[in-house]
Structure 1
Amino acid sequence: MDSPFEILGVEPDADDAEVDRAYRRRVIEVHPDQGGSAAEFNRVRTAYEQIKAGYSPESTNGEVAANAPESTRVAEDADSEPEADEEEEEEGSRVEYLNYEVLDDHGWDLGDEDLFEKAAEADLAHEDFGVFLAHPNETLLEAAENRGFAWPYACRGGACANCAVAVVEGEMDTPGDHILPSTMLDQDIRLSCMGGPVSDDIKVIFNVKHLPGLDELRLPPYPFEQAHMND
């Protein structure tokens, strides 16, 4: 069986930047729209997640941990945090979020200046509107998932726009080497899988992947649409 490193075509001692570049290249090569298959796409994505989770060819335990579902690894990591760190974990950025899909239902527009005020008065479901605290060193996607939300994503490596968010207020960092064109960055579109809040308060609209200019940058949905396919 090929190791995760062999699947991505990198050496076991490859650094994070090399792994990220290899993943972005491979995930596009095996994309079903490019002649690949869903099985191969998932194989590449799993290999990438295993490496990022600390996979080691010499460590059986490392392999088991890498194969565990990410939600499980997150829960285990959270459970292992000492109680003494709880006060430190309260540091971070206040994130106010809104689901793009509810805008049409209420006749709202992405450019409405009072959009979040309207949302606050609309008695929306908690998964569609609310506030959470993003801790330092968490990406926005990680912060949402660690608070129990299922926000959309596909690659977790900057190779698609499934996880895109619109930043309405505040700032997110923007690491290089991603698929977003400069026109999208100029419109305050960011990738939640790569960037995190850098201001004390931030307002974001998530699930904006169907916006013009982003639609063609998407990959097969995972896992947000799967979780909501029966809604």
Structure 2
Amino acid sequence: SPEMFEEVGIDPPSGVLLHGPPGTGKTMLAKAVANQTDATFIKMAGSELVHKFIGEGAKLVRDLFELARQHEPSVLFIDEIDAIAAKRTDSKTSGDAEVQRTMMQLLSEMDGFEDRGEVRIIAATNRFDMLDRAILRPGRFDRLIEVPKPDVEGREQIFRIHTRDMNLDDDLDFTELADMTGEASGADVKAVCTEAGMFAIRDDRTEIHMQDFLDAWEKIQAEDDDENVSRTFA
């Protein structure tokens, strides 16, 4: 609680950076923090802050922080922060220069030339390796939290959560589902559950069988493989 920090005599972390593979629940975590603290949740994707016109990105960052200050206590969540906070290069193109200006404005806001008040910043990235070290300096994002893919127990829990309202056959084995979906993220598990329901509907059934989940997982894997092939030859 804020009172604990006051009693100890230190400032609470100003920024938290969540990093990990896609689909592991980074956005969900940020929303949960806002809900638990009764704070206003403001979300912006880093890619939305990238503009080709000079000064537009920096103005958006200023407006975003102003909005957060007006609605404090607030949690400002910047997804895909690597879009504006990647390692700086010597590139002289106007687009790269504009991204640099946007990042400098973000650093300026985080350094708090004006008191930020009850505004907390959470950011997320799938590409931690690409981030400019300047953004990880103490006083900016000084808490780094890795959000990995779930382990087998985590996957079983996620399957149970996403199937709570589904009409399941008695043959469903959550332990087997968790075991066979080894590389699945939380988002993958949710997609498998939805797809299993679609298989039942296509078969004109209202009850979802274990086989539907097996077929759904096979389909999700095939789609992932197709995406990887497309990226390789893009």
TM-score per shorter chain, which class?
under 0.3
Higher relative contact order, structure no. (Cα contacts within 8 Å, ≥ 6 residues apart):
2
Larger % of helix: which?
A: 2
Return the index of the structure with the highest Cα Rg: 2
Q: Taking structure 1 as the reference length, what is the TM-score of the superposition?
A: 0.23
